[in-house]
Amino acid sequence: TICGRTKIKDNSFIGAKAVIIEKLSIAENTIIGAGSVVLKSVNQPHKKLVGIPVKVLWFIFQQVVLNQKNALM
């Protein structure tokens, strides 16, 4: 459910039945987990958020860097 004038930036994904309160902003490259509730704007990009209310599960950019390091080893 997305209410009001919510801004969702490029390459962001919203899970099924997630709730985003009106007049918030979701930064680019953000993943909102299914069933999560977003009560505040997400201003920093590259995050995966889950829960009620949402909390940062991990930073996506850090995971990509770790995967690249493991591939080189």
What tokens appear for 2 in the block? 């997305």
What are the pLDDT digits (tens) for 7-59?
899 889 999 999 998 889 999 989 999 999 999 999 988 899 999 999 988 77
User: CA dist 9 to 16, 24, 43, 71, Å?
Assistant: 18, 11, 10, 30
- 61's enclosing H/E stretch is helix 60-72
* pLDDT bucket at 61, cuts 50 / 70 / 90: low
Q: What is the pLDDT of residue 57?
A: 84
Q: What is the pTM of this model?
A: 0.74
pLDDT for 50: 95
